[in-house]
Amino acid sequence: MKISKIREMSSPELKTELSELKTELFKLRFSLATNGLDNPMKIKEVKRDIAKINTVIKERELEENKNK
């Protein structure tokens, strides 16, 4: 997921996407532990997307606090 696409999303959309990615990460890790994955690099991609979303959320919180 591109950072520009993430920045265009609203805060509620980001939180929804974050929860979906965390669920997907759990499923990928579970699948890896039980029967293996076709593409183990998918875990790395999902973790990076989670980090990107967390970064944008934190940036918005800091900007909000700065403007108060």
User: Which residue segments constitute the domains of the chain, with CATH numbers given?
Assistant: 13-67 (1.10.287)
pLDDT of residue 37: 86
| Residue 47, number of CB atoms within 10 A of its CB | 13
Q: Which pLDDT belongs to residue 62?
A: 94
- In this predicted model, what pLDDT tens digit does every residue of 1-51 receive, in sequence order? 899 999 999 999 999 999 999 999 999 999 999 988 889 999 999 999 999
pLDDT value of position 47 = 97
Is 52 a residue whose pLDDT tops 80?
A: yes
Q: Is the pLDDT of residue 68 over 80?
A: no
Compute CA distances 7 → 26, 43, 57, 58, whole Å: 25, 22, 9, 12
Burial class, 50, CB count within 10 angstroms (exposed 0-12 / middle 13-18 / buried 19+): middle
Of 45, 46, 27, 22, residue with least CA distance to 37: 27
